Structure formats: structure tokens, C-alpha cells
Structure 1
Amino acid sequence: MRRKTAIIIGAGFGGLALGIRLQSLGFDTTIVEALDQPGGRAYQKRTPDGYVFDMGPTVITVPHFIEELFALERDGGRLHDPDFPEHVRHAERVREGDSGGPRTRDYVRLVPILPFYRIIFDDGTHFDYDGDPDSTRAQIRALAPEDLEAYERFHADARAIFERGFLELGYTHFGDLPSMLRVVPDLLRLDAVRTLFSFTRKYFRNPKMQQVFSFETLLVGGNPLSVPAIYAMIHFVEKTWGIHYAMGGTGALVDAFVRKYRELGGTLRLAAPVERILVTDDRGRPVRAPLGARVARGVRLQGGEELHADVVVSNGDWANTYMKLVEPRARLVNSDARVRLARQSMSLLVVYFGFRDDGRPLDLRHHNIILGPRYEGLLTDIFRNLHLADDFSQYLHVPTLTDPSLAPAGHHAAYTLVPVPHNGSGLNWAEVGPALVDRVLTFLDERGHIPNLRARLTHVSHITPDYFEGTLGAHLGNAFGPEPLLAQSAFMRPHNRSEDVRNLYLVGAGAQPGAGTPSVMMSAKMTARLIAQDFGVHADLVHGSAAVAVGAEPR
């Protein structure tokens, strides 16, 4: 019996999670990665002077998703397990010690982070959000007592959105219009289609509370002024299962996924950029028009080598997957015109820096959100005006407060992430990037967030939207894929099963359900299910063999 084969383009979280799942379902899978090490946006950089920097995601939620991947076995895919079994729905949030499950602990050590975030306002006050209702109430009472009762109403309504939008619908692939129309009445009833900021402002009068309970979508590329209020569920996802850190950095989790994938028999090829997805008609002939049969047969690497497979999956940027890897004659739905009309998420300037510990405790936490003097105006400048303003907000990550191994003895490693417009702005980042880096570091020093930082610095490097566009292959240098607007969500977000090319699939931040580490891992499970349906993986299988039949006809 010939095993079916799959090629996955990109070894980010989505590609690795899907590779693990496909190996467990009986496919022989090869992941091809353009960079010299796996991770994609979660690439980890090690410097000659002894620093380790996670270049991308640092916020890990829902450790049960990670445990599920490590529990998979070869040809035992557990395809029809409940998405959120009762033991997961009602799991106690781990607050100390190891937060990974028993199989996770075989591969990587996860620990809880408390508070989740320190949110620092421009006037110097702060809010330590830890998901504990009593602590949250106490801080609201101190900063905005007029909003204390409003929190109770917000909490109840956000819970309802979480239960419907995440627990019940989180794994739904909206592959056709009726699948979306069926849930619209519930979303209207929950008031989940208005913008998140409008939803938040319905409850809270104090601007600080409006910011505390709406900023989180920025961590998945969403403008709080534009994303639908269904994203209020992020508050409850974090509150329910906490925020966690992989000791050794997010790169340690990437390495753990690679180890699991290889143990299941998967192949990983690094420094292997893809030049073209090979598409033919159903008889193996060149495609001559965007109508008729179009079938993915494999990929051509830069340099000319061709790899053939029954399934091709892109974990790359949605826009560039179609515009650069699939010839126009093979595309009707995902045409260049449609792709270019889609609104892309914002981009980022990220400053990686190391500095000496001068013996004074840092008045910071592992995750810090430092808000500027403007909120709505700054968001409008970044997302709509594509304007680089004089003011900025930032996410300051100081992992050495939890894990000193990421820096030389007596030093800290940190990065600060500044939301900026994507490259549709036309900004010359070679010119404006270094100036912004200088302003950000000066701000951290002069505001006292890291006193005397300039004198203590031992390493500084940075990336701009040019890195996302050039190195990571993201259209316009976006950092999170298509912007998660209402008009680009559910059925209207790129589909995990290509509408244009049979046996071509997508996974990751650009596909459903969206960006963020938990969503990307959910995307991998959704895509694996679609492939299993299309290739005849035995549908009644929960335990044991899940072999793919030789004669199974794909869709």
C-alpha cells in the first residue's frame, strides 16, 4: 500500500504543527524551509556576544494545544477527538511550577507567567493584568472606580463570546457561505460584530480601561478600532488557561516540535526556498486557462529541483503564496486583483538589545505594554493613514526576568516591538528605521523604564517591515497576514483548502482562523481534517492506525 505524500512550504508553527499531524495520519511529509533554521516568524537569533533573542512570537497560550501535538503517535491521528474535551474546558489554570502536560514535559519546559502583562500608561501609572478577578477589580478600583460595575457586565458578555466563538466555533472551517450565515444570528445576539473598541467603550468610561480591555488584538495584527468584538474572547482565552513561556525561549518550543516531527518520520529541508508550486490539469498537462481542472503536483525549488507529492500546503504568506508561487492561469478566485484588494495587517519595527545588569531591580515584568499619549489617533495613523507618527506605543519583552540563560551572566536580553505601517506606506526603512530605534531606546532610558540604558547597552540590532517582506516573504511586509476585519473573517478569510487548485491547502496566520500561536495551531488541525476528508483517512478512527488508502480519490 503506497503511502500518500505531502509537502509543506514553511517550517513556522503552522507548518510544524501540520507536519506532526500529517505524519500521525499516515502521510510521508516533507517540510521545505527557505531559512537556515526552522521557526519562520518564530526564528531564534543567537549572537556572538552570547545573547539569545526570539525574533517573533513570545506569548504562549492554551498549553493543551501543545500537549495534544506531543501526544500524537505515528498512524494514530486521533482525528475525531473533541476539540475541547471536558478536562480541557474545566482545567485549572496553572499558576506556578511546570504548566506543560506530561507529554509536553518530555520535549520542552513550559512555565506560567504572572502577571500576564504590565500595561504602562503615558502618565506613569500601570495595570498588572493577571487574569485574577479579585486582582483586576482591585486595580480598576484604584485607577477607575467609576468602571468597577462595568467590568462585571463586560466580564459576563466576554465570557459568552468566548464560549460561543472559541469553545464552540473555534475549529469551524468556514468553507462556504452557508457555514457562516448559520452563525450570524448568534454573533448579532452577542453584539460581536461591532468593533472591539466600540464594544469595550460600551462598558468602560475611563480611557485607561478602554485600552486595557482592547489592546490584545494588536498582538495578532488587529486594530482594536476595526476588528470585530468577537476578539473579546482573547481576554477569556488568556484568563482561562493563562500565558506561558518556554524555557530557552520560543525557539525551544520550535526545536521541540521539530524533534517530535522527526520522531514521527517527517523530513525537514532547510535553506530550500520554493520558486513555484507545480500545477497541472487532471491529466498532468500544463494549465492553459483559469477554468477547468487544476491540481497541485509538488514544488520547484530555487535552483530547479522538483519535489512531487499528493498534497501541497503553504504555511507562507497567503498573498505571496498565490501571487508568486501559483501561476495566474491556475487562479480564478485568488486572482492578483483579489489578493491586492485585501487589507494587510500592520508591520513592526523590533529592536533587540542586551544590557548590563547594574544591580538595581527592574521595575518591569516579563511582558510590558507601554502605551503612548494617543491611542485611537495612533492606531488610525498606523492602520489607515499608513503614517509613521512622532509618538509610538510598544511591547517590551524582558525574558531574562524569567530565564537568565538567554543572556551572558550579569546581563539582560530584551526586545521592544513597535507597531508601524506596512510597506504600502512607501517609507524608506533604511533611513527612518535607525532614527526610530534611537528614539525608542532614548524613550526607555529617559522615562526610567530601564534607567541609564544607553550607558549599559552591549548589543543593539533591529528589523523593519523590509525584513518581513524580504526575508519572510510577506506581502507589503505585513507582520500577521490579512488584517482581521469583519470583512476578512470566517468565510471571507482565506480558505485552508484552496478554491482554485485541487490538493493545495493553506495553514497558519494567513488562513482560518487567524494569527496568534493558538490560532495557528488550530489552523493546523483544521487543515489536517480537510486533507483527511479529501484523501480518505478512515473516518471512524480515534485510536490506532489511521492509514491513508492507496486508492482513495482526493476531492
Structure 2
Amino acid sequence: MTTSNTSERKKAIVIGSGIGGIACAMRLQSLGFDTTVVEKLDAPGGRAYVRKADGFTFDMGPTVLTVPHFIEELFSLERDCAMLGQPDFPDEILGDNQRITSGVSGGPNTSKYVEIIPILPFYRVYFDDGTYFDYDADPENIRTQIQKLAPEDLEGYEQFHKAARAIFDRGFLELGYTYFGNIGAMLKVVPDLLRLDAVRPLFGLVKKYFKSDKMRQVFSFEPLLVGGNPLKVPAIYAMIHFVERTWGVHFAMGGTGALVNGLIRKFEEMGGTLRLNAEVERIDVEKINGKRTATGVTLKSGDTLNADLVVSNGDYASTYLNLVDKKHRKINRDALVKFRKQSMSIMVIYFGYKKADGDPDLRHHNIILGPRYEELLTDIFDRKILGPDFSQYLHIPTLTDPSLAPEGHHAAYTLVPVPNNQSDLDWDAIGEEFCETVLRFLDERGHIPNLRERLVYKSFVTPNYFQQTLNSHMGNGFGVEPVLTQTAFFRPHNRSEDITNLYLVGQGTQPGGGTPSVMMSAKMTAREVAKDFDVPDAIVNGSPKMAEEAAPAIAAE
């Protein structure tokens, strides 16, 4: 363990205020570190930044919340009392009544900061022929819809349900918080993953059980929400189906930005510090006791912030390529970092429009699939081209929370998966035209009739926003692509192999992307920090009183 000051509390710096970064900062504060979050933008959130314009409020990034007890756990933290040793999945959230389907779905501590409510159905999935499937957690409702759209797949659904449950039980409940810091940890679980058929591509597993194209799409699209190609992500991602079925899909009233603000408020109440408009120029590294050691950061303003440890919630590739001098990187060399596959990107169109009588019965979350599925995915991930058609996720939060728009209006965004900037696409030239094409589709296909006449606000972001504003390598939307060769041990590590006291957190690290996963990543990273800094057990596992008595120990060698 390296320390810069043995008479004061140790200091931690977290680069980036995405949900993973905030969650990690809260956990470091609870471990006894004085923690500062430095954020490039003028408000917290990272990908969960909020755009406000003309009376509309738009979440710019994640809008699907699952596993609400992860959120409750964060709001239950206290300064110098991490309680990392508590069960990750306590019995009370695994019983028969664990999934809340009505009323407030936030726990008692969450509800002090933000109101979180369940959303049903989870998604309405529209097919290109105009039919749709309401995706939720009710097995009888699922069976009724399969009977209507693809009765030949009823038995296949039962078998898929069993397979997804087995993968969820092993892959999420038992292994979800496993940190694969060495190949041995990975090898121990390979036999189980093979037995569960969890390493083949997800779409291959789905095809094994479903005959109709519609059901294959319904039960394989979800990895797209974390940047994964259903044709290539390992079948362990089938557990998403059971994660949602077990704990539901939820929404923070006021938008995901309200959740971010609640987490920041809790972090500051715990004694943490947030610095906005504070972009990092470099992570400072010195040789201490013969080891390359992170000693703080230098901001683009010229300010230097010293610390005993640094955690980057920034993009994995950009962290190493742009913030760490290559002379300090023996493992995460340029060649390795650039070799890793980056996830797809997205174009997101934010728009406000006037309500009208007789509007179609859309839902809060709508998945609108195009005429092609496998070919479109190949265009996006492999050929890296814009094809003749597209699919999209249409989010209309004002169906749940009208306060996000002026009276008589809806605030919405539609997200279109597109290639990252390894393509030759010139978004400055084609962005506006593509935006109009997507909005025209929503209008002319009857999802939002006469949309262009009712439109009162419009803006959009392209892969350039992710690359230039969020510092995402190649404009990726979700970090390192979740393919088998970039999963578990093969995914970037939460503890840097190159530099002592440098850690990573968020979607580019283990376990992966998505709001629940980055919260899990924060807990995994915090556990590694606790080990490395010999944080007293009373702080890691004990009661607030025990932790208060033990807290001075973290300031000592």
C-alpha cells in the first residue's frame, strides 16, 4: 500500500460522474477515503447527462432501471461504514414476493432521495408488419401472446424459460460479483458455463428453442440495450430476461437525471466532493518503492490533485491511450487497447411534440423492429454501414411523468443503433438527413401520426458526440463490445495491471454494461481497493458504531 499522508484520511479521486463513477465514489467514501469526483461536463451523469430545452427535460442516456435493491444499497451507505461483506442478494429480495409490480419500487432509503416506480409492460415490441408483443414478467401473458403470434413456440418458450433461469441462477446470483482478476478464477467456472450452454452466441441459443422469427427477436434483442450484438454475445446474456422478470423494469420520476442527482446528494452528505468543468489532462504516475504508482491527476486547467488512489470511470480505451503515458503501460499497451473491439454507437433524437386526440397507444418503452434483423445487425457491427432500414428504441417518459414536458406535450427520444466511428460515415454531413428519415418513419408508419406538423423541439447526437464530448474511443456507445473473448477475465480489469493504486469502473470493465452492471462494477472495484489498502473489517463489514471506532486506522500505514 502506498500513502501520501499518514496523518490524515487517505484521498481518492474518481474520474467521471457516470452512474458507475458515482456509485464507486460513494463506496470509497464509505470505506473511509476522502473522495473527490472530477467531471468534464457542467453537470453530473456522464452518459446519463440531462438536456433541458424549451420546457422539455430529456435523459440523454440510460432510461431502463432494473434490480432496484442495487440502488437501495447505495442509498443505505454511510461514511466510514461500507458493509461490503453483506450478502449481495439478501434473502428478502429472492423470495416469492421479491418483484414489486405496483406502487413505489424504491426501498425506504432510496425514497428519501428519489421516487422510483415500476413500468409495465417492460417493453412493447413492434414488428415490421404492425403486430406487437407486450414484454413483461407475467408468464401467462407471455404465453397468451405467443399463442396469438406464434403458437408453434409455446413449448419452446417453456424450455427457454428453464434455460434462462439456470443461467441466471449461476451466472448472476452466484457469479455476478465475481472479479476475474486471474485466469484461474475464469477456468473454475468454465465447466458450469459449458454445461449451461452459456458460451454459444445468444441468438444460437434462442434459435434452439424458438421457430418463429418474431419470438427469436423478442427473446434476443435485449443485449442491444448494453451495446451487444445478439448474434455474437455469449448466451450468458440470456440472464437479462430473468433479471427483468425477477425484479422488473423501473423508472425514476423526473428521469434518470433525478436518480443521478439523488446519488450526488447522498455522496455529498457523506462528505464527498464533486468538481464540475474539471476535465483531466493526465493521470499522474510516479515510481514509489520500485512500482509505478498513481499519485493523483492533473486537470486541463493546470490544477494538480494529489491522491492515494485514482479510479477512472472514463472510457477504458481513452483512459489508457489519452490519460496514461505509454511508458507506464507494459500490459495495456496501445496495440492491445486498440485491438479490443468497441461496441456499436447510437444516434439519439430528442424531440418534443404536441399531444393529439386519438394518438396511438404507445408505451413508455417501445422497441420498433425493422424488416431485417440478422442482416441489419451484421450491417451495424461487422460491415459498419447504414443499411436501407433501421430499428429503434422509442422512449416516451411523459406517459409516466408528464412533468418532463410543457402541458399538452410529450417529451421523447428515439435511439437508433448505428456503427461506431470505425466506419467511414461522415455524421456532420448525413446526421440531419438521417434524423429526418427516422422522424418521417415514425410519422408515416403511424407510430406518431402527423409528428412533423406537431413537432416543437428537435435535437440529436451522433457517434461524434460520444467521441468528442464523452471521450469514447471511436465514438462507441457502450464501451468494449461484450463478445465472448471480451467477457469475464478477458474483459478489461477493474484493477490496473500496469499501475499500482489505479482502478477502473463502469461499462468498459467487469462485469459489463448496463445500469445494474455498472453498479456491480463499483462494488467489485471497491472490494479490490479495500483489499489493497487493508481497510479494517469493522469498516468493510461492521455496524456504523464499530466503523466509527475503526475509522482512524485507514489513515495509518
The TM-score by the shorter chain falls in which range?
A: over 0.9
- Answer yes or no: is the 8 Å Cα contact 2:393–2:414 preserved in 1: yes
Aligned partners of 1:507 and 1:362: how far apart in 2? Answer: 41
Matching residue of 1:496: 494
Note the C-alpha offset of 1:388.
1.0
The number of equivalent residue pairs is 544
Matching residue of 1:286: none
Aligned partners of 2:555 and 2:23: how far apart in 1? Answer: 26
Question: What per-residue deviation string (whole Å, max 9, x for no partner) do you get for residues 264-309 of structure 1?
Answer: 00000000000000001115xxxxxxxx621000000002110000
Q: 1:53 aligned to 40, 46, 58, which one? A: 58
SS in 1 for 2:82: coil
Q: Calculate the aligned-residue CA RMSD, in Å.
A: 1.0
Note the C-alpha offset of 1:538.
1.3
SS in 2 for 1:148: helix
Q: Which runs of 5+ in 1 are unaligned?
A: 284-291
Amino acid of the residue matched to residue 427 of structure 1?
Answer: L
- 1:198 paired to 2:204: yes
Seen in structure 2, the aligned counterparts of structure 1 residues 552 and 226 have a Cα distance that, compared at 3 Å, is farther
Alignment of 1:418-457 (within 5 A): 418-457=416-455
Amino acid of the residue matched to residue 235 of structure 1?
Answer: H
Aligned partners of 2:218 and 2:84: how far apart in 1? Answer: 38
Could you tell which deviates more after superposition, 537-546 or 505-514?
A: 537-546
Note the C-alpha offset of 1:360.
2.3
Note the C-alpha offset of 1:99.
0.5
Alignment of 1:16-35 (within 5 A): 16-35=22-41
- Answer yes or no: is the 8 Å Cα contact 1:535–1:552 preserved in 2: no
Note the C-alpha offset of 1:548.
6.4
- Answer yes or no: is the 8 Å Cα contact 1:536–1:549 preserved in 2: no
Matching residue of 1:542: 542
Aligned partners of 1:278 and 1:427: how far apart in 2? Answer: 36
Note the C-alpha offset of 1:2.
2.1
Matching residue of 2:313: 315
Question: What per-residue deviation string (whole Å, max 9, x for no partner) do you get for residues 48-104 of structure 1?
Answer: x10000000000000000000101111111120011111122252111111000001
Amino acid of the residue matched to residue 68 of structure 1?
Answer: E
Aligned partners of 1:54 and 1:303: how far apart in 2? Answer: 29
Matching residue of 1:513: 511
Detail structure 1 runs of 4+ shifted over 2 Å in the superposition.
359-362, 539-542, 546-553
Note the C-alpha offset of 1:361.
3.7
Matching residue of 2:74: 69
Question: What per-residue deviation string (whole Å, max 9, x for no partner) do you get for residues 299-356 of structure 1?
Answer: 0000211000001000000000000000000001110000110000000000000000
- Answer yes or no: is the 8 Å Cα contact 2:359–2:448 preserved in 1: no
- Answer yes or no: is the 8 Å Cα contact 2:29–2:80 preserved in 1: yes
Aligned partners of 1:552 and 1:41: how far apart in 2? Answer: 37
Question: What per-residue deviation string (whole Å, max 9, x for no partner) do you get for residues 407-466 of structure 1?
Answer: 000000000000000000021001111111011000000000001101000001000000
SS in 1 for 2:209: coil
| Identity score, percent | 65
- Answer yes or no: is the 8 Å Cα contact 1:4–1:548 preserved in 2: no
Alignment of 1:116-515 (within 5 A): 116-282=122-288, 293-515=291-513
- Answer yes or no: is the 8 Å Cα contact 1:79–1:542 preserved in 2: no
Q: Which runs of 5+ in 2 are unaligned?
A: 1-6
Question: What per-residue deviation string (whole Å, max 9, x for no partner) do you get for residues 353-389 of structure 1?
Answer: 0000112243210000000000000000000111111
Note the C-alpha offset of 1:192.
0.2
- Answer yes or no: is the 8 Å Cα contact 1:536–1:548 preserved in 2: no
Alignment of 1:37-48 (within 5 A): 37-47=43-53
Could you tell which deviates more after superposition, 3-12 or 541-550?
A: 541-550
- Answer yes or no: is the 8 Å Cα contact 1:117–1:367 preserved in 2: yes
Note the C-alpha offset of 1:549.
2.8
Matching residue of 1:287: none
Alignment of 1:73-92 (within 5 A): 73-90=78-95, 91-92=97-98
Note the C-alpha offset of 1:547.
2.5
Aligned partners of 1:316 and 1:548: how far apart in 2? Answer: 31
Amino acid of the residue matched to residue 439 of structure 1?
Answer: T
Amino acid of the residue matched to residue 543 of structure 1?
Answer: S
Question: What per-residue deviation string (whole Å, max 9, x for no partner) do you get for residues 238-285 of structure 1?
Answer: 0000000000000000000000000000000000000000001115xx
SS in 2 for 1:549: helix
Seen in structure 2, the aligned counterparts of structure 1 residues 27 and 551 have a Cα distance that, compared at 3 Å, is closer
SS in 2 for 1:6: strand
- Answer yes or no: is the 8 Å Cα contact 2:126–2:369 preserved in 1: yes
- Answer yes or no: is the 8 Å Cα contact 1:54–1:251 preserved in 2: yes
